Copies of this chain bind each other. A is one copy, B any other.
Amino acid sequence: MTKRSDQVTDALKQLITEHKLKPGDRLPQEKELTEQFAAAKGTIREALKALETQGLIITRTGPGGGAFVADVPPDRAMSLLANYFYFKDITIHDIYQLRVNLEPELAASVVGRLSEDDFRRLQTTMTIYDAPPTNQSEEHAQRLAELSFHEVLVDLCPNPILSFTCHFLLGLLKNLRLCHDIYDLPNPALWETGRHYQMQLLGALKRESEPEVRRIMREHMVRAEALMQAQETIVLDQFLASPRARKGG
């Protein structure tokens, strides 16, 4: 038997779609809902909480307050999706199999859409890894900055699905345990090639040459995957070896 609160959740969702409610529109108050659904406050609140965690509504207290339909924030959508992958173990190849094919599209989709300000943003992020890193934490920071170059493209991409997917993949690279371990290893080649390709990419974007943008980004991704995978094997070997090593003293 489905729970009463879940029934209310579904009913409220239907109410939103049927009445074509838009972000900002208000739902009935808790008191009204208790009457409409003949359910107690607690039950109604659980139903609203479900919608709130989905990002579909936000609630405000005080006069004129209540539950308001909301645009799901990208961050929330990303963390909800990240939950799905939490118990699967993701490999570098899993991530780059998508990046190799999608990042070129992403870059191509912004050709001719960059303002002077956008170019400055790209150039600014590149200055962070202008010089080779001197210590480990600096190297770690540079890796994250390198990713933010791609986040600028994500912001400008007109395709919401492509943009979100690439953004999510960047989130995995930023947050996954495996990736943190990889970033902790020194990797001058990764710094060198990342810098190299992004310089080339910036030029191609300025020339507004879509084929070149596509080609450069693809090469960039293929190269990055190879370098990351090399480190992945090291990290995984360490992981396999360490329990033994500890036991052995």
Which of A's residues lie within 8 Å of B, judged by CB? 5, 22-23, 42, 45-46, 49-50, 52-56, 71-72, 74, 77, 80-81, 83-88, 90, 93-95, 97-98, 101-102, 105, 109, 159-162, 164-165, 169, 172
What residue of chain B has the Cβ atom nearest to residue A47's Cβ?
Answer: B49
Contact between chains at B56 and A88 (CB < 8 Å): no
Q: Which of B50, B90, B160 sits near A88, CB closer than 8 Å?
A: B160
- Interface residue SS majority, chain A: helix
Contact between chains at B97 and A162 (CB < 8 Å): yes
- Sorted nearest first, the 5 A-B pairs with minimum C-beta distance are A77-B84, A101-B101, A50-B53, A72-B84, A53-B53
> Distance (Å) between the CB of A18 and the closest chain B CB?
13
Contact between chains at B98 and A83 (CB < 8 Å): no
> Distance (Å) between the CB of A158 and the closest chain B CB?
9
- A55–B84 Cα gap in the complex (Å)? 8
What residue of chain B has the Cβ atom nearest to residue A100's Cβ?
Answer: B105
Contact between chains at B80 and A159 (CB < 8 Å): no
- A110–B80 Cα gap in the complex (Å)? 28
Contact between chains at B159 and A97 (CB < 8 Å): yes
13 contacts between A and B (CB under 8 A): A49-B53, A50-B52, A50-B53, A71-B87, A74-B84, A81-B81, A85-B161, A94-B161, A95-B161, A97-B161, A98-B165, A101-B102, A102-B102
Residues in B whose Cβ lies below 8 Å from that of A83:
54-56, 72, 77
